[in-house]
Homo-oligomer: A and B are copies of this chain.
Amino acid sequence: MWAKMVSDLHLSRDPALGLRAGLEQSLRAAVRSGQLRPGTRLPSSRVLAGDLGVARNTVADVYTQLVAEGYLIGARGSGTRVAAYADRSNAVRAETTTSPGAATARFDLRPGRPDLSSFPQAAWLRALRTVLVADVAPALGYGDPRGPLLARTALAGYLARVRGVLADPQLVVLCAGYRQAVALLARACSAEGRRTVAVESPGLPEVPEMFRRAGLAAVGLPVDDEGAQIGRLAATGADTIALTPAHQFPTGVPLSPARRAALVDWAHRADGIVLEDDYDGEFRYDRQPIGAVQGLAPGHVVYAGSASKTLAPGLRLGWLVVPPRLLEPIVEEKRLADRHSSTLDHLALAHLISSGDYDRHIRRMRASYRRRRDELGAALTPVRPRLGASGFRAGLHVLVPLASPATETEVLSHLERHEIITNGLSRYAPGDQRAGLVVGYATPPQHLWRPALAAFANALHDGS
| B336 & A94 in contact (Cβ 8 Å cutoff) | no
Interchain CB contact (< 8 A) of A92 among B168, B210, B261: B168
| B139 & A90 in contact (Cβ 8 Å cutoff) | no
| A140 & B168 in contact (Cβ 8 Å cutoff) | no
Q: Does A104 contact B (CB under 8 A)?
A: no
Q: Does A78 contact B (CB under 8 A)?
A: no
Given A261-B84, A288-B65, A316-B342, A324-B93 contact (CB < 8 Å): yes
| A166 & B92 in contact (Cβ 8 Å cutoff) | yes
| A97 & B445 in contact (Cβ 8 Å cutoff) | no
| B142 & A314 in contact (Cβ 8 Å cutoff) | yes
Complex CA gap A209/B295 in Å reads 36
Give the number of times this chain occurs in the complex, counting copies. Answer: 2
Given A132-B121, A257-B70, A338-B177 contact (CB < 8 Å): yes
B-side contacts of A91, CB under 8 Å: 324
| B166 & A32 in contact (Cβ 8 Å cutoff) | yes
Interchain CB contact (< 8 A) of A85 among B164, B264, B327: B264
| B90 & A166 in contact (Cβ 8 Å cutoff) | yes
| A119 & B92 in contact (Cβ 8 Å cutoff) | no
Distance in Å from the Cβ of A410 to the closest Cβ of chain B? 27
Distance in Å from the Cβ of A170 to the closest Cβ of chain B? 3
Given A87-B297, A254-B68, A327-B94, A338-B316 contact (CB < 8 Å): yes
Question: CB-nearest residue of chain B relative to A210?
Answer: B336
| B164 & A261 in contact (Cβ 8 Å cutoff) | no
Complex CA gap A166/B88 in Å reads 12
Distance in Å from the Cβ of A143 to the closest Cβ of chain B? 6
| B337 & A257 in contact (Cβ 8 Å cutoff) | no
Complex CA gap A68/B68 in Å reads 70
Q: Does A238 contact B (CB under 8 A)?
A: no
Distance in Å from the Cβ of A81 to the closest Cβ of chain B? 11
Complex CA gap A454/B213 in Å reads 53
Q: Does A435 contact B (CB under 8 A)?
A: no
Interface string of A73-87 (1 = CB under 8 A from B): 110000000011111
- Chain A residues engaging chain B, CB cutoff 8 angstroms: 17, 28, 32, 61, 65, 67-71, 73-74, 83-87, 89-99, 113, 116-117, 119, 121, 124-125, 128-129, 132-133, 136-137, 139-146, 161, 164, 166, 168, 170-171, 175-177, 179-180, 183, 206, 209-210, 213, 254, 257, 260-261, 264-265, 268, 287-288, 290-293, 295-300, 312-316, 324, 327-328, 331, 336-345, 445
Nearest 4 interchain pairs by C-beta: A94-B170, A140-B312, A70-B260, A314-B343
Can you name 19 A-B pairs with beta carbons within 8 Å?
Answer: A65-B288, A68-B257, A69-B293, A70-B293, A90-B299, A92-B324, A94-B171, A96-B170, A97-B331, A116-B137, A117-B137, A121-B132, A140-B313, A140-B314, A180-B337, A183-B338, A316-B339, A337-B338, A338-B338
